[in-house]
Structure 1
Amino acid sequence: MTTRAPVPAWGLAVGAMASVQLASALAVPMIDEVGAPVTAWLRLTFGALVFLAIQRPPLRSLRRGDIPVVVALGIATALMTMAFLEALGRIPLGTTVAIEFLGPLTVAAARSPRRRALVWPGLALAGVVLMTEPWQGDVDLPGVAFAALAGVGWGLYILLTQKVGDRLTGIGSLSMTVPIAAVAAAFVGVPQAAGHLTPALLGEAALLALLMPVLPFVLELLALRRMTHTAFGTLMALEPAIGLAYGAVLLSQTPSVGQLIGITLVVVAGAASQRGGRRQVESPISDLQPA
């Protein structure tokens, strides 16, 4: 007799995305208080401590040629995190996530054997234009630029993860790359943190680290044991919409009709990009969701 899992795999995947976007929404007050670099450094540091406590870094599984890639992967994680939080301090959460999503979407389209897959990044870009509403004349260009930089970081994260393949997956990957990311972020975050570190701030940062990346990792790991990578990637297309919803509910970032149409285009493009897609290297967690 088989027992049915209490939570379906798709529910775990959606829960992981919800945790990521909740962490993003809750980070906005901290960004306003101490700045994005300090927020990124603290979140990465607490996340690194958790992953190091869970599992020792599998250094023996690395080859000499893997070391530069692992270091670059950690730096890409820091870049992605700091750029995303910088954007989040300037433009709405849903818009930030949608722009960042162009990075992995472009990578997925470029790896597709079908040329028509390149249509989907274009459709998503049209959605982003609707979300940023440049015709209104009040576009925050630095915010858009930081979100785009976060998308570049996410795309690099995917490509670098595939360089080391199955030797760098799961908690083992995060116990190496997140500490490197924390050290990289420290170069910018530590000087700005002087005089701002309080017990309340550290407790808030620890909570954010649990919401992202710790809890999403656990939920994704459980989900991916019961669903295909393509199905998971298709569900990931919902993340910009989840970000938009959190922005509206928690941050009073009410979207316009045009922005709702824009986010719909981004979600459709993200889901469609997974149809018939295939990955050259299967990496259960780190190929799909950055830390």
Structure 2
Amino acid sequence: MSSPTRPLPGWSVPLFFIVGAVSQYLGAAIGVFLFETIEPATVAWLRAAAAAAVLVCWRRPWRVRWTRHSLLVTAGFGLVTVCMNVAFYESISRIPLGTAVAIEFAGPVAVAALGSRRVRDGLAVLLVAAGVVLLAGTQTRGQSDVSADVQWVGVALALIAAVMWAGYILLGKRVADTGDGVDSLAVGMALGAAVLAPILVTTQSLRDASVFADPRTWLLGAGIGVLSSAIPYALDQRVLATIGRARFALLLALLPATAAVVGAAVLAQHPSVGEIGGIALVMLALVISARAAPAAQGPAAP
């Protein structure tokens, strides 16, 4: 086995997380250019496959001595991660991005609520929930042009993504605790992309197989994979090796704020007053949770 991952200094954890979040949403902005010609699930698969290729070449995980148990956990982690991305991409093709993000936060918020024992963390979870509700309410206004059926399918897919997100946190902490988190991430992403390839590639081929002959598809797919998966998920493993699941789940609440900044800078999507209010509640929750928190805590109770 490789040497255990050294925990990060406590002060640097938010910085590592923000860098990963910015990278993730820059990749999402690239993905917007592919949705017009490629199935959202195919974009998610391209993202996973590209990330797996980069991570495997970087980490060379065949040097690690794998056990049957570690491979099973790693495979589960990879499948959950890829399925989370597929469900989320399919969701945002049917409902507004902000609405999907808000619904998806039900997963990490649930993990934080179940994994916390401090009153301070309980208050933080309530504030996160209030911020997510405010963001959802703001995003769903003025969407009457979208049919009810399509909206409900999108909501259901976002809820599936929320469940998968919770699984990503739980399984991600387990692989991080082994000290080989990034190696497990590389193998897991590769296994997840390989298992789902026959389904997702066949579906896209039946709709329009010509996209696979377009170099733009692979170039943009590679960019999405590196920015949205390889970089942020590798940084996640460093963060998860330092802190517990509950604090990690609350750190995930930084994503709406990061998405708003990237959306304004890249896509000219300026947040409304309601969105700013929701983001402010989330940020307040993070400040409350961070105060007097231990520098590094062990695995939180599931």
Could you state the TM-score of these two structures normalised by the residue count of structure 2? 0.75
C-alpha displacement of 1:164: 4.6
In structure 2, relative to structure 1, the CA distance for the partners of 1:180 and 1:59 (3 Å cut) is farther
CA contact (8 A) 2:185 2:234 kept: no
Give RMSD over aligned pairs.
Answer: 3.3
Q: Which residue of 2 aligns with 1:244?
A: 260
Deviations 1:75-113 (A, max 9, x none): 111111111212232344444334333322321221112
CA contact (8 A) 2:103 2:158 kept: yes
SS at match of 1:31: coil
In structure 2, relative to structure 1, the CA distance for the partners of 1:157 and 1:168 (3 Å cut) is farther
CA contact (8 A) 2:182 2:234 kept: no
In structure 2, relative to structure 1, the CA distance for the partners of 1:213 and 1:80 (3 Å cut) is same
CA contact (8 A) 1:127 1:265 kept: yes
Paired AA for residue 169 in structure 1? D
CA contact (8 A) 2:52 2:230 kept: no
Q: Which runs of 5+ in 1 are unaligned?
A: 1-7, 283-291
SS at match of 2:68: coil
Q: Which residue of 2 aligns with 1:215?
A: 231
Deviations 1:155-207 (A, max 9, x none): 11121234455336332112211102212332432013321211111111111
Paired AA for residue 259 in structure 2? G
Q: Which runs of 5+ in 2 are unaligned?
A: 1-10
Q: Which residue of 2 aligns with 1:63?
A: 67
Paired AA for residue 265 in structure 1? L
In structure 2, relative to structure 1, the CA distance for the partners of 1:31 and 1:15 (3 Å cut) is same
Paired AA for residue 232 in structure 2? P
Superposed counterparts of 1:195-234, under 5 Å: 195=209, 196-197=211-212, 198-217=214-233, 229=243, 233=248
Residues matched between the structures, number = 272
Q: Which residue of 2 aligns with 1:142?
A: 153
Of 90-99 and 25-34, the range deviating more from structure 2: 90-99
Superposed counterparts of 1:133-282, under 5 Å: 133=137, 138=144, 140-164=151-175, 166-167=177-178, 169-194=180-205, 195=209, 196-197=211-212, 198-217=214-233, 229=243, 233=248, 236-274=252-290, 276=293, 279-281=297-299
Give me the identity figure in percent: 33
Q: Which residue of 2 aligns with 1:14?
A: 18
Structure 1 distance, partners of 2:235, 2:72, is 29
Q: Which residue of 2 aligns with 1:287?
A: none
Q: Which residue of 1 aligns with 2:92?
A: 88
| 1:51 correspondence with 2:55 | yes
CA contact (8 A) 1:93 1:243 kept: no
Q: Which residue of 1 aligns with 2:4?
A: none
